[in-house]
Structure 1
Amino acid sequence: MNKFTLFCLLTGSMTFAQRALTIEETVMGGRKYAPTTQTAQQWRKDSKSITYLSADFSTLFEKSAATSWKESTLTTKTELESALKTKFPNDEFSVRTFPASINWKTANTFETEISGKKNNYKVTYDIVTKQITTAVAFDASGTSAAFSSNNNTAWLKGNNIKITDASGKVIEVTNDENQGIVNGNDYVHRQEFGIDRGMWWNEAGTQLAYYRKDETMVGNYPIINWNEREAANKDVKYPMAGMTSENVTLVIYDVATGKKVTVQTGEPKEQYLTMVSWEPTGKYIFIGILNREQNHLKFNKYDAKTGAFVKTLFEEKASTWVEPQHALTFVPNNPNQFIYQTDINGFNQMYLYNTDGKLLKNLGYKDVIVKDFLGFDAKNTKINYIGTANNGLDRQLYQVDIKSGKTVQLTSISGTHNATVSSDGTMILDQYSNVSTPNEISVIDVKSKKATTLVKAENPFTGKVEMPKMELVTITSADGKTPLNGRIIYPANFDATKKYPVMIYVYGGSHAQLVNNRWMGGGGYFDYYMAQEGYVVFTLDNRGSDARGKKFCDVNHRQLGVNEMADQMKGVEFLKSKSFVDADKIGVFGWSFGGFMATSLMTNQNNVFKVGVAGGPVIDWKYYEVMYGERYMDTPQENPEGYAKASLLDKAKDLKGRLLIIHGAQDPVVVQQQSMNFVEACIKAGKQVDYFLYPNHEHNVGGRDRIHMYAKIADYFNTHLK
């Protein structure tokens, strides 16, 4: 047998061994085919070393410049569990995996949170002595802990706040029995406006600021639990657009005196309190006050001792909306200066202010949007952050000098970078992928630009799964001037002389981006599965989606769905220009805002779209919640024409193709009333519509049930579009 024959036999058998994705892998594939990586990697403080977890989450590894980046073991979950049992002999621990979230405090110690049977703990662990050096504890039934600098811990028990002080004494901060009064919870204003917590300690740990939400005036909305012997109703508070909303105040509790002060944020009561930030000295607290109309922000300074209003530092107004997303970041060692992020000038960027409200410096760079604030360098003179590039497709690492405002881009390869700088500022830990690179991790010397590769992942599908071809495309929006990012996945065994059906996967709403210059182009495993089923799978980020700036979204104000659909139809024009696209077999699938888009396209463009699947769809924005809905649409009273145009209830009569609506029966985000009303409208109009409920799921379908959902969607397209 000659070498050529042997080569053909070997390569032929390798090709034969490859197969298509299974329906199970549409859900499990992300773990099964994850590119080689270093999990939970970060710089070890005050060192030229990085740490990360083993693949089985049992061991904390290190790679160091001192050892030419060779891997070594720092500690294990077994050693951590032993240290916990030694420190807390009266509690029980079962450390199944090493904590993924650790915070290095020194070169040899890190902090992490651990749960025992009796208590939850925040501990400091020494990797040299293998001992717990410090710890604070609170009851195991507590949630949402907020830790102070002096070892006071605030935590929630139901809708009330308790504090476990440094001595272990438990203090009841609130004791509201009415479930409509919620204290210290992060679920305030439905977590819009960047809200991710409900309690804030001052720097000294002596005073706790917290949200007090009064939602007694908001109507109860029924959510049915079908798992009980007799189905049980669980009421939630769901303020709909144009209806009565919650009232929120901010209270400051003094640990030493036990006194509470309500910050005098004033009237009207239906306003939004955002960007809560303690001034480093603890004398003042700052709050962004956003009106219910969401078009006028006042950033106010208050006296922390009395709660009295001091002054308005600055204001922002817009004809569309103002959307604060970030609390202040004070410049270390300079309590009189802070960084404020806003998109008021078109792109979310950083601005340096003093505490009197004077703008000192614009730290923005070109049209780069700040996506992730990484912190200051060792001298506190520069800021590192991840920002956008390449029309929003890429993420790069940037560094801006606070004094001069000069910005330097520290990473350069086109793609999606997740990068951090060592504590001494001399090295970058850079992880990136792009459409042709599964995952690459390097350490880069800032001065010399020399890179040392730590991980260079191979294509995880090679020899296992024959993945369809994917490419990124650019399409001009319906306004004729805005470039839009798109992704096309070609059918398996693509033959340009054939014609294929199309599945368009759409979202289209704010704060979401489906197309990226990263591995798989941002596409999900179900997208690739459907391509393997013989579909052209196409996605377009229309105007209104994320990472392109404020003006990119503003065009949709008071008319959700109009420009988004117009852009999606430009995507359809692009598809129809391809000889391999069957223009008579175009379908659409989307969830949530994407469900709204899918149903909108099926009814407004009924001669184009033959099949649609709409998951958890918004059908009429008057049934959606106040905070999100009114930002983009104003109230139904203020914008009746816009609501009427966006509503799909009166458009059920226009449905021609096959539409499957899927909803989680316990959905508290897009309530089931939305899709039920559309079904009723279809009945009244004499239109057939298919409907499927997932009885024990909320806004999306998770776990193994998601496999069932994707199988249903695939079967629906295969039955009605192929």
Structure 2
Amino acid sequence: MKKITFLSVFLLVGITAFAQKNLTIEEATFGQYRNFAVENIVAPQWRKDTKTVTYLDNSYSRLLSKSEEGNWAETTILTKDELQNALKSKFSSDEFQLRMFPYSYAWIDKNTLEFEVAGKNSKYLIQFDVAKKEVKNVFAFSSEGRNQTISADGKNTAWLDDNNIKITTASGTTAVTSDENKGIVNGSENTHRQEFGIKKGMWWSPKSDKLAFYKKNETMVADYPLVDFGARIAQTKNTKYPMAGEKSEEVTLVIYDVNSKKSLTLQTGEPKEQFLTSITWEPSGKFVYVGVLSRGQDHLKLNKYDALTGAFVKTLFEEKATTYVEPLHDLTFLPNSNSEFLYRTEKDGFEQLYVYNTDGKLVKKLGFKDVVVTDLLDFDSEGKNVFYIGTTNNGLDRHFFKVELKSGKTTQLTSVSGMHSGSISSDGTLLFDQYSNVTTPNEINIINLKSKKTTNLVKASNPYVGKTNLPKMELVTITSADGKTPLNGRLIYPANFDASKKYPVMVYVYGGPHAQLVTNKFLGGATLFDYYMAQNEYVVFTVDNRGSDARGKDFEHVIHKNLGVNEMADQMKGIEFLKSKSFVDQTKIGVYGWSFGGFMTTSLMLNHNDTFKVGVAGGPVIDWSYYEVMYGERYMDMPQENQAGYDNNNLTKKANQLKGRLFMIHGAQDPVVVQQHSMAFIEACIKAGKQVDYFLYPTHEHNVSGKDRVHLNQKIADYFEVHLK
């Protein structure tokens, strides 16, 4: 009996030990989305004009729904097989092999879905009647076609065929542009290198009779060579890359009339090197509004243009700054109004909402405390209130807010601390609220905003329990180098932490604009690779320095004209925090980051070479004069205007300061931070007699994705293991 009991205990311990295994490098790379995926609802959407939310089942084979009227019971709306049969019936000459129900679907009205599918011969933009289970409307394209944009009346769709635009209707396809020179690019979302919130390059008018689109002339922009090593004899593939201070692209806005088949160009004027942003049709269809931003990015004019003639009508208002103005959003007209719209700007310190009229008069400021608006949602059915998601808790949390347009009264709709996301039903009465925090993997509720009743749809359990020994993580607060600003930090303790031991440290850094690494969400916003390193007995630490996202204008703009200086000062405050911990080995501190984080990693290794022993810099910016106009000049101005600033953060000039082991990694096809950056640094190290390690991913661009990411993570982990421990 004792032997059996002893054996049972032994087996139990063994099974538990096996179950609590450390992460593999594959799990550290993909586990958050595969092995340890948190219970969730896939592709949720509110069905138009209903109190019904739709989503896909876990096998991506059925479109399901839950409705308030049905007491939130689950029903099936449409299956992948039903959809495939309907497509075969409609397009008997083509073949369809749907591996899954279309993930990117949208409700056009109560019964009409819109999505894209690919047959063997063509691509199709489909409008599908779910009640009749039949194709309601369809547009067919070349398999090479992209960026399909359907008009409001559902009768026309514009799409891109290489660098030209075509419009398909029931009667056929018409070429809108026919530029043979590939340096003339029409309708592209890559205009201005997708800065300034640009996500598309074509806009249908409200009456569906006109199409506005970007026409980008980049023939004068220098060709930058990217070498394709896959060919028998390596080939050069040029890309247009306007470097800071060099000649930039010239962009205009064109209006195409569907009926007359004629085009006109908006008179956006000189200079030609300016940025056209926030493209918005007035609901009447008579006018188009454009944010015209100077190349220096410190002066914005919101202009009104006549859609019939292209003539400039007036400037509604202007924004100027000693640092930079950064328009990121189109205008949003109020319901049933041709004369008032919402405008988002950080001009008063935090990105918030303002109501302006089309004469340029400020009607109402809708900002609330120091909340930064991160997502503008929708209006209620009466058009009296608008909903948005905004920051709280010094940027750690996101919450839903409702603001009354007339009075400006703002109400916070969610209260549980964490990162909330979701959407509002089309009538504004139901909130799909999904959130997580450091102790909650995922919770999804439907909140009735009138009755205050909450219906729980998902309350996920911790997927790591019993599977892996996930190390302890805590969020910490550090005072920045200015002596007053609180910074958000994340500390992951080594697995099986022993306070009497001393551990090496890996600092993970980004530090640049429009990025936030530390949040009050599950795992603290970290990836499993951070936890993998902690399981291998590292302290893993991250701090969001000034210059990063979600904290307001002053917090970010402190970096202007001298990238790296204040960011490093704040990172060193994080190092002071670490050194105050008895379990930190102060002689074994390493740092890792990618892109701006690669710039920060290299900067810290050079400027604080007595602190950092090891660094891994991926895709690093080395010399900001090699970076592109739109991003680089926003933060650094032109080299001709700020030579001292460019010299100060040119890391080739500091290569002789390298003491520790630095590992630089780059993608050979990188069109963002071109390989010239790391090559220049390697050459500087050679001249300075400094040893540096280097690795190139021949087929990858700005980051390493797919299965090769496992290879990358293993190299990083191995480098720290060999040189830091």
TM range (shorter): over 0.9
> Could you tell me how far 1:720 is from its partner in structure 2?
0.3
TM-score, normalised to structure 2, is 0.97
**DSSP 3-state at the match of 1:321:** coil
Q: Give 1:80's aligned residue.
A: 83
5 Å-filtered alignment, 1:323-342, equals: 323-342=326-345
Corresponding residue for residue 345 of structure 1: 348
Q: Which residue, 157, 160, 169 being the options, matches 2:161? A: 157
Equivalent residue number for residue 194 of structure 1: 197
What is the match of residue 535 of structure 2?
532
Q: In structure 2, what is the equivalent of residue 355 of structure 1?
A: 358
With 543-552 and 153-162 compared, the bigger mean Cα shift is at: 153-162
Alpha-carbon offset, residue 323 of structure 1: 0.3
Looking at structure 2, the residues matched to 213 and 421 of structure 1 have their Cα atoms a distance apart, in angstroms, of 37
Letter in 1 for 2:186: N
Offset at residue 74 of structure 1 (A): 1.7
Q: Counterpart of 1:21?
A: 23
Deviation at 1:645? 0.6
Are residues 1:643 and 2:646 paired? yes
Native 8 Å contact 1:620 1:648 kept in 2: yes
Q: Which residue of structure 2 aligns with residue 687 of structure 1?
A: 690
Residue identity opposite 1:349 in structure 2: Q
What do residues 575-611 of structure 1 show as CA deviations (whole Å, max 9, x unaligned)? Answer: 0000000000000000000000000000000000000
Which residue identity is paired with 2:613? K
CA distance in 2, matches of 1:81, 1:346: 52
Partners of 1:448 and 1:172 in 2: CA distance: 53
Deviation for aligned residue 1:425: 2.6
The answer to whether structure 1 residue 430 and structure 2 residue 447 are counterparts is no
SS in 1 for 2:284: coil
Q: Deviations over 1:186-228 (max 9, x none)?
A: 1111110001111111111111111111111111110011111
CA distance in 2, matches of 1:92, 1:370: 45
Task: Find the counterpart in structure 2 of residue 124 from structure 1.
Answer: 127
**Kept in 1: contact 2:278–2:330 (CA 8 A):** yes
From 637, 658, 663, the equivalent of 2:661 is: 658
> Partners of 1:161 and 1:426 in 2: how far apart?
40
Rounded to whole Å, the distance in 2 between the matches of 1:633 and 1:273 is: 20
Task: Report the equivalent of 2:558.
Answer: 555
Provide the secondary structure at the position in 1 that maps to 2:383: coil
Aligned pairs for 1:134-533 within 5 A: 134-150=137-153, 151-167=155-171, 169-533=172-536
Q: Is the 8 A contact 2:682 2:692 kept in 1?
A: yes
Deviation at 1:7, TM superposition (A): 8.6
**Conserved? CA contact 2:431–2:449, under 8 Å:** yes
Q: Secondary structure at the match of 2:32?
A: helix
Deviating more after overlay: 251-260 vs 315-324: 251-260
How far the C-alpha of 1:105 sits from its partner, in A, is: 2.9
Cα 1:299/1:4, change in 2 over 3 Å: farther
Q: Deviations over 1:26-73 (max 9, x none)?
A: 222122211111111122223322211111111111222334322222
Segment drifting more, 105-114 vs 286-295: 105-114
Shift of 1:115: 2.2
Q: CA RMSD in A?
A: 1.6
Tell me by how many angstroms 1:9 deviates.
Answer: 6.9
**Residue number among 565, 572, 575 corresponding to 2:575 in the alignment:** 572
DSSP-derived class of the 1:146 partner: strand
Q: Structure 1 length normalisation: TM-score? A: 0.98
* CA deviation vs aligned residue, 1:356-405 (integer Å, no higher than 9, x gap): 11111111111111111111111111111111111101111111111111
Structure-2 separation of matches of 1:105 and 1:146 = 13
Q: Which amino acid aligns with 1:568?
A: Q
Per the TM alignment, residue 12 of structure 1 is displaced from its structure 2 partner at its CA by 6.7
| Offset, 1:155 | 1.0
Residue identity matched to 2:492: I
Deviating more after overlay: 50-59 vs 293-302: 50-59
Indicate which of 598, 603, 625 corresponds to 1:600. 603
* SS of corresponding position for 1:269: coil
**1:15–1:463: 8 Å Cα contact kept in structure 2?**
no
Matched, 1:721 2:724: yes
SS at match of 1:602: helix
CA distance in 1: counterparts of 2:451 and 2:212, whole angstroms = 46
The answer to whether the Cα contact below 8 Å between 2:379 and 2:428 also exists between their aligned partners in 1 is: no
Q: Distance in 1 between matches of 2:582 and 2:280?
A: 57
Moved more, 295-304 or 108-117: 108-117
Amino acid at match of 1:162: K
Q: 1 CA distance for matches of 2:373 and 2:646? A: 33
* 2:216–2:249 contact (8 Å) kept in structure 1: yes
CA drift at 1:10: 4.5
1:708 to 692, 707, 711: 711
How many positions carry a matched residue from both structures? 721
Cα distance, 1:336 vs structure 2? 1.2
Distance in 2 (alpha carbons) for counterparts of 1:266 and 1:65: 53
Task: Pick which of 660-669 and 206-215 moved more.
Answer: 206-215
Give CA-to-partner distance per residue, 1:538-571, whole Å, 9 cap, x none: 0000000000011101111100000000000000
Q: Which of structure 1's runs of 4+ aligned residues deviate more than 6 A?
A: 1-9
Separation in 1 of the partners of 2:478 and 2:507? Answer: 15
Residues 235, 281 of structure 1: alpha-carbon distance in 2 compared, 3 angstrom cutoff: same
- Of stretches 257-266 and 126-135 in structure 1, the one that deviates more from structure 2 is 126-135
Partners of 2:434 and 2:443 within 8 A in 1:
yes
Give 2:110's aligned residue: 107
Q: Which amino acid aligns with 2:583?
A: F
Mapped contact 1:290–1:298 kept (Cα < 8 A)? yes
Shift of 1:467: 0.5
Which is further off, 305-314 or 448-457? Answer: 448-457
| Offset at residue 130 of structure 1 (A) | 1.6
* Per-residue deviation, 1:125: 2.0
Q: Distance in 2 between matches of 1:100 and 1:411?
A: 28
For 2:428 and 2:9, how far apart are their aligned partners in 1?
50
CA distance in 1, matches of 2:48, 2:149: 23
Checking the alignment, whether the CA contact within 8 Å between 1:159 and 1:176 is kept in structure 2 is yes
What's the CA shift for 1:96?
1.0
- Distance in 2 between the 1:25 and 1:260 partners? 54
In the TM superposition, what are the counterparts of 1:29-40 in structure 2 within 5 Å?
A: 29-31=31-33, 32-40=35-43
CA deviation string 1:505-542 (max 9, x = no partner):
00000000000100110001111111111100000000
Report the AA paired with residue 160 of structure 1. N
Partner of 1:65: 68
Matched position secondary structure for 1:484: strand
- Tell me how far 1:655 sits from its aligned partner: 0.1
CA distance in 2, matches of 1:95, 1:26: 31
CA deviation after TM superposition for structure 1 residue 351, in Å: 0.7
Instruction: State the alpha-carbon separation in 2 of the partners of residues 270 and 107 from structure 1.
Output: 45
Q: Distance in 2 between matches of 1:39 and 1:11?
A: 37
